[in-house]
Structures are given as C-alpha cells and as structure tokens.
Amino acid sequence: VTSPDPSAMRADYGRDSWDRNGPTEHWWPLFAEWFAARVEFCQRDGGEPNAMVLATADAAGRPSARTVLLKGCDADGLVFFTNYTSRKGTQLAANPQASVVFSWFDQQRQVTFGGPVEQVSADRSAEYFASRPRGSQLGAWASHQSQVIGSRADVEERYAELDRRWPKEVPLPPFWGGFLLRPDEVEFWAGRPDRLHDRLRYRQEADAWIHERLAP
C-alpha cells in the first residue's frame, strides 16, 4: 500500500495578521472577529465552523483528543456538550483541565485555549437539550458513550425502545450536559511568509489579561 508522501507538502502563508488593528486588551473581541470570519468562510467553502479539537488527560497524565462542537462562547469561555460518563467526561471529572484547538489552517489560522473546565448548570444543559432535534435527544440517551458495544444493533434497539417510552418530550439524561472551559491562556496564530508566523498569546494574571508576542 502506498500513500501520498507528506514530507514534501508545503503551503505558502502570508495572508494576514492582527497587526492591522493592533491586539485587543482581551482575547474575546479578537476571537469573536475570527470566529465570524470562520463562519463566513465555511458558508462559502463548506465545513463546520464550530468544530474544535478538545484534549483532556486522565489522572495519570495520559492525554486524549477528539473533536467536539462549540455550542456557546463569550468572554467567560467555551461551552460544549457531551456525555459526562464518556472517556472525556471521566477524565474531566478526575482532572478538570483541558486544551482546545481550532485548526483553521485553510485560512492560515489557529486558535488554542487552555484552562480549567467545569460543568455548566443543569438548567443550561436542559435548555440546550430541549433545543436539539428529537433524534439527537434520543441518541444521547441511547448511547453509553465510549463503552464497548457488541454491534450497531444494540444502540439502535435501545433507541427504538426509548422512542416508544417517550412519545412526546424527551427528558434531559442525568449523565449528559455541558462543560465550560474558562481559559486562562488563549493563543492566536496567523501564517506569515518564510515560517515567520505571528503568534499572540493572552494569559490571565490575577484579574488582568496580558498579551505577548511569541516566537514562531
């Protein structure tokens, strides 16, 4: 079996940086601007603008990463929803720290976040759960996320059974809900020529956000 050789693949960067406006005092306005640009980009070129890679680690420090969808963001941080008993859920219970990467390399951009993670309130989870399509609600109930299962039919049968059990409203599963990553570090990366990329890091010190340029 042969595969394309990645060692010779390179792209030329240099489209933009935040220097046009100068960095903002807080990471949030810059992220809001970049996220809006990402949404526009995906509307044109396809893709899920709110997809992000979430890295967690277990109590022994072994990391794992997976894609989740951003479902809320403001100056407090990033919200995503998942099964609290999944691998990531268990890891976050044991070690409530995470890192998130938005890999927007087709726009020559990347944003990374790091910081503590907490569960959102059950009210907030219930509100979001109620807004999901019925199929997704039943899917959340039917899946013991990250457990080994015998076959696809196992979850499909469970799904059908739950569909009959709740002909109208589907309640919020007690094992499902949101997490909020409250970043204490946010880094913006913009591709520039000759690998002299721009990196701008925000880090929280007491109540203030410090921003610094990092070597590429």
Ligand X SMILES: Cc1cc2nc3c(=O)[nH]c(=O)nc-3n(C[C@H](O)[C@H](O)[C@H](O)COP(=O)(O)O)c2cc1C
User: Which residues participate in catalysis according to the annotation?
Assistant: 195
| Shortest distance (Å) from residue 98 CB to ligand X | 12
| Shortest distance (Å) from residue 156 CB to ligand X | 18
Is 73 or 190 the residue whose CB approaches ligand X more closely? 73
Is 121 or 136 the residue whose CB approaches ligand X more closely? 136
Alpha carbon distance 53, 166 (integer Å): 33
Alpha carbon distance 36, 55 (integer Å): 24
- If one counts every other C-beta atom within 10 angstroms of the C-beta of residue 187, the result is 20
DSSP state of 171: P
Is 124 or 201 the residue whose CB approaches ligand X more closely? 124
| Shortest distance (Å) from residue 171 CB to ligand X | 19
| Shortest distance (Å) from residue 151 CB to ligand X | 18
Alpha carbon distance 38, 50 (integer Å): 9
Is 126 or 196 the residue whose CB approaches ligand X more closely? 126
Interface residue list for ligand X (CB under 6 A): 48, 51, 64, 66-69, 80-83, 86-88, 145-146
Q: What is the DSSP string of 78-121?
A: EEEEEETTSHHHHHHHHS-EEEEEEEEGGGTEEEEEEEEEEEPP
Is 104 or 202 the residue whose CB approaches ligand X more closely? 104
Give buried/exposed letters for 125-140 (b at 16+ CB in 10 A, else e): beebbeeeeeeebbbb
| Shortest distance (Å) from residue 43 CB to ligand X | 17
Structural contact between residues 41 and 51, judged by C-beta atoms closer than 8 angstroms = no
Residue with tokens 């997704």: 136
Structural contact between residues 116 and 97, judged by C-beta atoms closer than 8 angstroms = yes
